[in-house]
Amino acid sequence: MSMRDGLAFANSLSFNRIEAESDSLEVINFCTGHTRWWDEAAALFAECVDIGTMIGKVTFKHCLRSCNQVAHVLANHSYCNKSSFSW
């Protein structure tokens, strides 16, 4: 859901080239088409692909969780406080 929401946010800002990073290799593999999605998350990944097409150029990259700590802190803060911010 985070990937979909991030892509939708980038699309709402009319970005036409973005890098989308995730520490979930499974998410990256699904979004790049390296893995077929035939499970309960298939609709979410289909949305990611559709939004990526609307954006234009999306590069999906895997990054280690240790390199992505700031994103986790912000996501946890937002989840715990039931709030959403645009930085």
d(CA 50, CA 68): 25
Please write the tens of the pLDDT for every residue from 3-53: 999 999 999 999 999 999 998 999 999 898 887 767 777 888 889 999 999
pTM of the shown model: 0.77
pLDDT of residue 52: 94
d(CA 78, CA 39): 28
pLDDT of residue 86: 63
Domains of the chain: 1-81 (3.30.420.10)
pLDDT of residue 71: 73
